[in-house]
Amino acid sequence: MRLAVVSPFVDRRHGTERALAELLERLARNHNCVIHLYSQRVEDLSFSDPAEACSQTGGAIFWHRVPSFPGPHLVQFLAWLFANHLCRWWAESFRGARCDLLFSPGINSLRADAVLVHALFHRLRDLSRNSPGRAKENLFRSLHRRAYYRLLVRFERRIYANPRTSLAAVSQRTARLVENTLGRKDVRVIPNAVDCNEFSPTARQSRRVKSRSKLGFREDDCVLLLIGNDWRVKGLPVVLEAMASCRDLSLQLMVVGDDAAGPYQEQADRLGLRNRCHWLAPQPDVLALYAAADVYVSPSLEDSFGLPVAEAMASGLPVITSSLAGVSERIRDAVDGFILSDPMDIRALTALFERLGRDANLRQDLGAAAARSALAWTWDRNAAQVHAWLEFVLAAQAIVVIPSTSRE
């Protein structure tokens, strides 16, 4: 199978992009797919020169660099849509890079044959409208955000509501949202996975002392970890409030992502948590973060899946998430993780911090159960499910309907 894949960037520092990297590797290696990847930036993924595509006999990934343009997100997104379309046309017309299907992780093309839905902007727009934290934005940023979300929602409506575009979602929750919002009842569910060779209790423990020492944590500190790019949606304000209610516990918090730290640092200062919060940029070596932590916490207001939760579980960390995260469908509450039914319930989160912060044995038992559960969530299985879905899409497109002739 020859696939054209469109994604603005691919790396192993962000959830959707990491999932895409794991998938593409296995589609090429395990299923002999020839993949033409159209992207502005590719890191942490092996690929070949597109000039070698004609001589390639097995599975391979060829990167076609798509130019990027500066400017606000809205301008960048429109430029990206136009540029990746132009690059694909050029490669198909003049370099022989014709493909069987156009595959996209999200709304990266108006004409994708198959889309794997990682996020639904209809839902994120609603959360943005109802956020009191947005009141501090200046007028330009506020207007830009509204216009950006409005554009993305319109593209979602056009692309996802088109019955000719086959859809799959990374969780049952996301599939239900697509059905309820856009009326699509034929969305497959193909959950994300985790690499248990890379993320394991043994690997985490072997790096624990060095990772904690590098970040200045003491052995008796209980270190919480949250990873994400929209910290409000990931539940950071609630995490800070719950931490402030646990004054007599030696809780420390690592917050990792690309979001603007200013408003949350102000909140931490108001709550007296200045010296207990550590703001870190994303890094490819995510295991070092899990190695330094004792608990992964993300009471998300919305999360299509929640890949860091799965990676933390595979690493043997106890996790706290919410019922609004897709990964919660794979967690047994109080057995291999904790699920908050209400992500805004500060009192319930505080109680969990108290339990886990005071009971190292509970953290160990919960983490061991989490690691056992994660063993079944393999990327090989994920890639096999995606490949079977794409074969179905390709076969459906090949069907030619021949009108019946009357014999009367």
Q: What pLDDT digit, counting tens, does each position of 40-62 carry?
A: 999 989 998 887 776 566 799 99
Q: What pLDDT digit, counting tens, does each position of 321-336 carry?
A: 999 999 999 999 999 9
Instruction: Give the predicted TM-score (pTM) of the model.
Output: 0.89
Q: How far apart are CA 334 and CA 283, in angstroms?
A: 30
- Per the CB < 8 A criterion, the answer to whether 351 and 327 are in contact is no
Residue burial 232-241, b: 16+ Cβ < 10 Å; e: rest = bbbbbbbbbb
pLDDT given at position 236: 97
Residue carrying the six token digits 């990934």: 61
- Per the CB < 8 A criterion, the answer to whether 340 and 327 are in contact is no
Q: How far apart are CA 174 and CA 114, in angstroms?
A: 16
- pLDDT-above-90 percentage for the chain: 80
pLDDT given at position 392: 96
Q: What pLDDT digit, counting tens, does each position of 69-125 carry?
A: 998 889 999 999 999 999 999 999 998 899 999 999 999 999 999 999 998 888 888
pLDDT given at position 230: 87
pLDDT at 407 over 80: no
pLDDT at 137 over 60: no
pLDDT given at position 402: 46
pLDDT at 130 over 90: no
pLDDT given at position 136: 55
pLDDT given at position 401: 47
Q: How far apart are CA 81 and CA 67, in angstroms?
A: 11
Residue 126 corresponds to which tokens in the numbers above? 């609603």
pLDDT given at position 58: 79
Mean pLDDT of 186-209: 96
Max mean pLDDT range (11-15, 98-102, 126-130): 98-102
- Per the CB < 8 A criterion, the answer to whether 306 and 190 are in contact is no
Please give the residue that has the higher pLDDT: either 114 or 136.
Answer: 114
Residue 88 corresponds to which tokens in the numbers above? 């694909």
pLDDT given at position 15: 84
Mean pLDDT of the chain: 91
Q: What pLDDT digit, counting tens, does each position of 241-300 carry?
A: 999 999 899 999 999 998 889 999 999 999 999 999 999 998 889 999 999 999 999 999
pLDDT given at position 123: 84
